[in-house]
Amino acid sequence: MVERRTVLRDNDGFRRTIITDSDDPNKFVVQTEQVLDEILAGVQRDRELLRPRSDNKHLARIPIEAFEMMIREGWGADDEAKWLNSSEAAPFRIWQGRVGRDR
């Protein structure tokens, strides 16, 4: 058995690695790691770089636990907007405006 690791993404506090095994190359594991201090530093940097009058806005860098919870619980756009507008999401928000239809 030879384990091979290939980094798919490594930036802004997120690292995603695919792990394969030479004995069974059709099966793999995706390992996800996050460093919240790096994520928050990236959020702060992006807040400073954000152009307020731009049509396209980067809303947030959502921690993987929150993203996976959204998927597991089958959240819709309204649920996501409610969370993004909450105080819980505030540290991860880049654009500070309100999200959703009822802005």
Per-residue confidence band for 61, with pLDDT thresholds at 50, 70 and 90: very high
Residue 89's nearest CA partner among 40, 51, 48, 56 is: 40
Q: What is the pLDDT of residue 94?
A: 94
* Residue corresponding to tokens 């049509």: 55
Domain boundaries, the chain: 1-34, 36-98
pLDDT digits (tens, 9 = 90+) for 7-33: 999 988 889 999 999 898 889 999 999
Distance CA 55, CA 84 (A): 19
> 103 pLDDT exceeds 60?
no
pTM: 0.73
Q: What is the pLDDT of residue 22?
A: 87
Rounded to the nearest integer, the mean pLDDT of the chain is 90
Return the ∠ at Cα 55 (arms to 88 and 100), rounded to 5°.
40
Q: Is 61 exposed, middle or buried (0-12, 13-18, 19+ CB in 10 A)?
A: buried
Distance CA 47, CA 58 (A): 9
pLDDT (mean) for 53-74: 89
> 69 pLDDT exceeds 70?
yes
